[in-house]
Chains A and B, each alone.
Chain A
Amino acid sequence: MTHFQLEKLPEINSKYSMFSTFTENAECDAEFLFSAKDNLTSSEFETCAGSDILRGYRPVFDATPISRMKEKGGFLVGKTNMDEFGFGTFSTHTTFGVPKNPFDTNRSCGGSSGGAACAAAVFDGHVALGVSTGGSIVCPASFCGVYGLSPSYGRVSRYGLIDYGNSLDKIGLLSHDAYDLGKYLPVISGKDPKDITSCVQPDLKTGKGKIESVAVPKEAVEGSGISEGVMKAFEKSLETLRSMSVDVEYVSMPSLKYAIPAYYVIATSEASTNLARFGGMRYGQQDGDLSLGFNEYFTDFRSKYFGEEAKRRILLGTFTRMVGYADKYYNKALRVRMAVINEYKKQFERFDSVVTPTMPFVAPRFDEISEMSALDAYKADFLTVPPNLTGMPHLSVPCGYSDGMPAGLMFTSDHWNDSSLTHMAEKWSDSFESVHAEVSL
């Protein structure tokens, strides 16, 4: 985002709804401008994570990645719209504003970091902080035709992130400029004693640093319902990779198909405990009926303010961790996660990265989305969920266009090999001419 565009922010936002809240400051002399997904706490803006239950909540502290960006001279422009608590693939599960795709405003930006991808696509030189649990960075990056990086789990401190699934959540970057990923990843990453899962990470230089060979899992691309347009763009991308002297080979990764059920069990189990704290007592909305007893109060309150998808995931997650069911679901899902990790590790003995299309289709229209069942929507994440389940870093780059809508190519590398991905993003952008969405006002 240039400082010039800051002036036009209200106007642009009224068209695209990428921000839930943003600065009124039209002038600033910061070194660079950035935005943050609205589940990252910020002391100067309300932080609601797309949920009505948190409406009006102004945290007392900045999330670590936000304060690190500020320390580097960044100015936080605003908070980007998202699915409630990250629960969604199209950023439609929210009442704060559904972000519209810059390529076609009748279409979704993807989710759950939809607002972040939209801002990254629309504003030049703007870097957006996104969050991914099951694909929430690469999905919208793919739909909006921008670069999106979801780093290794534990690379970026989650202090200040309003949790969805703590063992899955990763904070990453989205930008129109591939070089921003390598530029800002060192800024937001690093050990933070406030999030001890960030304290075991090795140096960013870990690994080979570049990708010279990739594996394409047959199970992911053959007969899996990938649209023709996306498949075409994908095949062309493999050609491009070969022309960049990257070895491409088809492999078999049979356990990938178990990733989706395992992911939804783990993510919802964790989410249902994370959401337990929202009871209308200390933050966010507090207008429940005080004449009720405590149990009735929070039941009433939560029924009123949680969205439908949040309720669905609380119910699912509560069920899967009950005694008698935990072994059947939650504990089994943990074992599946290990199996999927091992499947990837096996490929990384021979290849530097695994590639697939990011999403099986281009950004759908809102009317198409309204006809999808919850299960249809969950299934749309079958390509992005596996790397997220493993905690491995992954990257989406724009790789082609189908009916004028962008398609994405996803690279997944081994744990801590984040720099091989930022390097690939740069190399890719040197050889692929991406289309900049035209923003008309």
Chain B
Amino acid sequence: MKIGLEIHVQLPTASKMFCSCPTTGDDVPNSRICPVCLGMPGSKPAINRNAMILGLKLAKLFGCKIPETTWFSRKTYFYPDLCKHYQTTQYDMPVGEGGVFYLGNKPIGITRVHLEEDPGKTKRVGEDSSLVDYNRSGIPLAEIVTEPDLSTPAEARDFLSELLKEIRDVIDLPDNGERSVRCDCNISVAKERCEVKNVTGLKNVENCLKFEMVRQMKTIKSGGKIKRETRRYDEETKTTTSARSKETEADYGYIGEPDLGIYHIRKMADEIVLKESPLKKAERFQREYGLNAKTAKQLASAPSGLSDLFESLCGECDVHTAVKWTEGVISANWKSVVSEDVVPDIVETVGKYHAGKITDTECSIKLKTIMTGSEADSAEENCDSDLTSLVNEIIDANPSLVEDYRGNDKAANSIIGTVIKQTGGKYSSAEVVDAVRKSIELRL
């Protein structure tokens, strides 16, 4: 069985591919449109440089061959959601070709990465009419086409899941549903393949492929023949149905888009420094810090601030300690961190622990305080003098203590415990011990 995917990713640019309309915002139908994305006669496209950069980033992520020049083409077909009745896409010179993506140790070929515009959206109204919303028209898409290297629906799902993780990180693609990712799934059990268009979501991709697999096998078993065709997936029934017989490329009559010219992208591509993808980072963590594969992967796919923090900790203490605190208290409280400003405090605290200045419990309490903010705020108001006044208050309430201390300095321990509790770990035990001793000794 052979499975290949065509993955359409809406790129997270602020404006559309060929005009300055916003890509997100008002959802009122046809509220984010202009003469260009409506294809009004006389309008001309102007390229969004940022979309080109994001396309190149993806091409680089897969190690694609990036050509010296690239251009756009017109793909002609008549459909109501496509304003110009041709889609501005890339045909004979995409931004990247011949890349690879590793699913574990298995290489999955990336045939090409190209840029194109999203069409509008049609919405069925009643039995015999549809409405069109062009807000989506002109949103930049990257299409990632794989070789038919995937062999099971489950593998296709894993691949897509891993791929998306990488992509999200490299081009800052939000995971909140704001940008859609749609798949065309190609599957052949025997010779002829079928394409299921426009499948959204990992689960749907897997289910649709599963259904197709079974359908094709049953067809062949019962002596039937698989027709090359485009099919549609129904999420409710988890079945696919025939949409139309597959058009050959010929019908699209591609020609170059003269209004957009030719782009020399080599230099642009060379200047792009890719953010390290989670996969690459995991590999590096294994290499540099000697982590095992599982831990490396966990840390590398954590939010980027957290894995950066892990690396900072490694500068202050041994790797084992850094992993222990990053995966423990720090990651447990990471969500409550509001500002990166606390990072140095965290590093310092773990450093103190590593140097033996504070105990495990103290470190844990202090980290929580730093990270959860609210207590940290109230603690912030107490400066050193507050510690002293608190200590004095307690001594005032227990005047006998001073006498006891004169006989045995362990008498101070009860106060020390109380102070640590009341200050919520804001001060290290050494600091508290110091303050208590000083205050008592002043009264001797």
Contacts and interface: CB of A to CB of B under 8 A. Distances in A.
Interface in A266-283: 269-270, 272-273, 276-279, 281-283
Given A273-B86, A322-B253, A323-B249, A162 B78 contact: no
Contact of A54 (B41, B257, B260): B41
A372 interface: no
Contacts of B442: none
B306 interface: no
A170 interface: no
Contacts of A281: 80
Interface string A194-208: 111100100000000
Given A277-B85, A282-B83, A159 B255 contact: no
Interface string A152-170: 0000001111110111000
A64 B372 CA distance: 57
Do most interface residues of chain A lie in helix, strand or loop, or is the interface mixed? loop
Given A158-B44, A323-B249, A276 B255 contact: no
Contacts of B83: 277, 282
Given A294-B80, A321-B253, A323-B248, A277 B39 contact: yes
Of B39, B43, B44, chain A has the most CB atoms within 10 Å of the CB of B44
A276 B84 contact: yes
A160 B42 contact: yes
A272 B253 CA distance: 10
Interface in B255-295: 255, 257-261
Contacts of B220: none
Given A279-B85, A321-B254, A193 B46 contact: yes
Contact of B259 (A47, A61, A166, A294): A166
Contacts, number: 102
B46 A196 contact: yes
Nearest to B260: A196
B47 A196 contact: yes
A123 interface: no
B168 to A, nearest CB: 31
Contact of A159 (B42, B248, B250): B42
Interface string A233-277: 000000000000000000000000000000000000110110011
A34 B78 CA distance: 38
Interface residues of B, number: 31
B261 A196 contact: yes
A272 to B, nearest CB: 8
Nearest to A290: B129
Contacts of A195: 44, 46, 259
Contacts of B190: none
B78 A161 contact: no
Interface in B30-47: 35, 38-44, 46-47
B42 A283 contact: no
B114 interface: no
A147 interface: no
Given A158-B44, A324-B250, A273 B80 contact: no
A322 B255 CA distance: 9
A43 to B, nearest CB: 11
Contacts of B39: 277
Given A195-B259, A273-B253, A322-B250, A161 B86 contact: no
9 contacts: A59-B41, A59-B42, A195-B259, A196-B44, A277-B86, A281-B80, A294-B78, A326-B255, A330-B255
Interface of A: 40-41, 47, 49, 54, 57, 59-61, 63, 158-163, 165-167, 193-197, 200, 269-270, 272-273, 276-279, 281-283, 294-295, 298, 318, 321-324, 326, 330
Interface of B: 35, 38-44, 46-47, 74, 76, 78-80, 83-86, 248-251, 253-255, 257-261
Given A59-B41, A60-B40, 4 more contacts: A54-B41, A272-B76, A277-B84, A277-B85
